[in-house]
Every structure is written in C-alpha cells, then in structure tokens.
C-alpha cells in the first residue's frame, strides 16, 4: 500500500467530500437551501449578517428573502466546506500534473475531478439563483456523489487495496457488480428527485400509499424536468398525484435495489474465494438493510431530520461499498 503525498491528499479529499455530501443533505432537508439568496456570498458578505444594522441592510437589499441567521449559517458552512474541497482537488490535479512522468501517476482522473468540481460550483450557484429548480438540485446531488465515487476509486487504485486479488471465480461477478452500481445510481437519482420535489411525505403510510396499494398518479407532470426559469420551487410546485407518482417510483426502485443488491451480496459471500470481496459483500448487505430501515422510518415517523440525513449518508456509504466491490473484482491498473 502506498502512502505518497498524492495518496494522502486523495484520502483527505474523499473524507471531505463525504462531509460535504452529508452537509448538503442537511441543508436541503432543513429547508436552508435558500438561506443565502445570492452566491457565492451571503447577502453580499463572506459571512452571515448577525448584527442588527447588518440584518437591516440585508433585508433592504433582499426584501423578498429576510435574513434567517440559522438557515444562512447552514448554507455558508456548506459552502466553506465545498470551497475547501475545491482547493484540495485543485492541489491533487496540480500534483498529478507535476508528477505526470512518474510511473503509475494518474493524470486523467485528477484532471477530470477538477473539471467536475468546477461544474459542481456552477450547479451550486444555479441551485440558488434558479431557486431550487429540481433538476439542478438533483444534478448537484449526483455530481457530489460522482465526485465521491471517483475519489474512492482513485484512493483504492493508488493504494493498491486488495492487491491483485481477483480470482477466476470472481470474473462472473464483475458484470453483476457493475450493474448493481448502475442500478444504485438510478435509485439515488430517484431519491434526489423525490427530495427536490418535496415528495418524501406524499405517501404518509407504509406499505400502502394514502391507504391504497396503487393510488392515482400523473407520470407526465411527475417527470417533467424543465419548467422554465423565474419560479421559486421552495416547498414544491407539483400537485398531489405527481408527488405520489415520484414517491411510489422511488419505493418501487427501492424494492428492485433491495432484491438485486441482496442477491449480489449473497453471491459475493458464497461464490468468491477472496476474503476482501466477501467482506465487501457483507458490508453491502448490512448497509442495504440499514437503508431499507431508514427509508421506512422516514415515512412512518414523518421525515425526522436526523433520519432523513442518515438516509442520505447511508446511500453514500452504500455507493462507496459498491465502488470497493468493483475495485476488488478487477485486476489492478494505474488509476
């Protein structure tokens, strides 16, 4: 296992990305996404107005969005952490370029990560300036989790975790593991769409939805991605049937994920002779069970903030576990 400066920076960026993803979920779920109506500052400042005259000045400039310090601080702390992550990824890319002629030094992936971070910054700006437009909020979530996954892959490949340990028996599992990763990404997108459209409580009962197994739905409205600009999406704009549709599709997606990843984890545990692969399969099974429990708890407990944030964090951990599985099932190459 290597412990170069580049590898240590990649580990630091990975840990900070997880923090940023969870913080982003906390900001969104506590309705603080518009805690600062401008970007990158907050009411024209690098911190939050907290003195009486500062609040009065900010309210005069933004009369449609009076200062709420608690929400504003949540948003700014998230931005500070995201900014620190951007600097860390920039350092990774610069170090990769400086050492590009060294054997085994990855270059394409660090540069791609830098480009992704720049695009994530734009999505963060549009999230505010386009007033929580659902497609942008969902894309911002997916961008954060893509950053997390790519950094995890970089760390695993550079650290040589698991070594050249894939066996002949593991070959048949590679396609299944990649499919599992793709299915999970789709379910995370559905979860982001559910949250961005305030549809998490569209079905307040479980396992039925509004006391029905198949309530009235509106797929066309539910999955219209673009509705123009100039509309505030805070609190959601969809009618009941459209929100129910989104919620039910997320539930059905959760069932598909539970069955497939449950089967995949069983295969990893019983087919592979690689101890690391079996351990990763066990991690997938545990995280999968936890995610199912948290998803049900969100409904029956009416979306308590700690449970909702934990559900987002659990999705990130399950994603990391599947990235690790895919790493372990493939021969080592340069990242």
Same domain for 175 and 54? no
d(CA 72, CA 65): 11
Same domain for 119 and 195? no
d(CA 254, CA 23): 23
Catalytic residue among 57, 75, 221, 332: 75
Instruction: Specify if 157 maps to a domain.
Output: no
Instruction: Specify if 177 maps to a domain.
Output: yes
pTM over 0.75: yes
pLDDT score, position 13 = 97
Same domain for 114 and 208? no
Instruction: Specify if 274 maps to a domain.
Output: yes
Into how many domains does the chain fold? 2
pLDDT score, position 335 = 43
Instruction: Using CB atoms within 10 Å of the CB of residue 264, give its burial: 0 to 12 exposed, 13 to 18 middle, 19+ buried.
Output: buried
Instruction: Specify if 239 maps to a domain.
Output: yes
Same domain for 200 and 85? no
Confirm if 156 and 10 have CB atoms less than 8 A apart: no
Same domain for 267 and 229? yes
Instruction: Specify if 156 maps to a domain.
Output: no
Same domain for 325 and 179? yes
DSSP letter at 132 equals: S
Instruction: Specify if 131 maps to a domain.
Output: yes
Q: Per-residue confidence of the chain (335 residues) as pLDDT tens digits?
A: 456 889 999 999 999 999 999 999 999 999 999 999 999 999 999 999 988 989 999 999 999 889 999 999 999 999 999 999 999 999 999 999 999 888 888 999 999 999 999 999 999 999 999 999 999 999 999 999 999 999 999 999 887 776 555 554 567 799 999 999 999 999 999 999 999 999 999 999 999 999 999 999 999 999 999 988 888 898 999 999 999 999 999 999 999 999 999 999 999 999 888 889 999 999 999 999 999 999 999 999 999 999 999 999 999 999 999 999 999 998 765 44
Same domain for 115 and 174? no
**Quick check: is 234 catalytic?**
no
Same domain for 306 and 190? yes
Confirm if 243 and 200 have CB atoms less than 8 A apart: no
Domain that holds residue 91: 1-135
Same domain for 216 and 107? no
Question: Which distant-in-sequence residues (6+ apart) come within 8 Å of 264 by Cβ?
Answer: 173, 176, 177, 180, 281, 284
Same domain for 234 and 323? yes
Same domain for 43 and 171? no
User: End of a domain among 135, 153, 176?
Assistant: 135
Instruction: Specify if 142 maps to a domain.
Output: no
Same domain for 265 and 333? yes
């Amino acid at each position: 296992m290597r412990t170069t400066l580049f590898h240590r920076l990649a580990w630091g960026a990975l840990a900070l990305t997880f923090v940023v993803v969870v913080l982003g979920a906390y900001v969104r779920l506590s309705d603080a996404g518009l805690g600062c109506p401008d970007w990158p500052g907050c009411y024209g400042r690098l911190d939050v107005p907290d003195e009486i005259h500062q609040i009065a000045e900010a309210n005069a400039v933004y009369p449609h969005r009076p200062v709420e310090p608690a929400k504003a601080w949540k948003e700014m702390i998230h931005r500070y952490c995201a900014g620190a992550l951007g600097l860390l990824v920039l350092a990774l890319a610069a170090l990769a370029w400086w050492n590009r002629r060294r054997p085994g030094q990855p270059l394409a992936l660090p540069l791609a990560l830098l480009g992704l971070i720049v695009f994530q910054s734009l999505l963060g700006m549009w999230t505010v300036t386009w007033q929580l437009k659902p497609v942008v909020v969902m894309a911002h979530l997916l961008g954060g989790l893509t950053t997390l996954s790519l950094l995890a892959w970089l760390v695993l490949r550079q650290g040589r975790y698991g070594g050249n340990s894939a066996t002949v028996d593991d070959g048949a599992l590679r396609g299944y593991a990649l499919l599992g990763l793709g299915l999970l990404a789709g379910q995370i997108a559905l979860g982001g769409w559910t949250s961005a459209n305030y549809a998490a409580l569209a079905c307040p009962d479980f396992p039925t939805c509004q006391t029905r197994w198949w309530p009235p739905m509106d797929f066309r409205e539910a999955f219209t991605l673009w509705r123009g600009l100039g509309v505030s999406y805070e609190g959601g704009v969809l009618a009941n049937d459209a929100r129910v549709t989104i919620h039910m599709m997320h539930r059905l997606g959760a069932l598909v994920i539970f069955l497939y990843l449950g089967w995949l984890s069983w295969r990893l545990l019983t087919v592979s002779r690689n101890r690391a692969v079996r351990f990763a399969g066990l991690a997938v099974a545990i995280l999968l069970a936890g995610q199912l429990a948290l998803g049900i708890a969100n409904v029956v407990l009416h979306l308590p903030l700690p449970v909702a944030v934990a559900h987002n964090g659990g999705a990130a951990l399950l994603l990391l576990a599947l990235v690790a599985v895919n790493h372990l099932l493939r021969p080592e190459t340069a990242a």
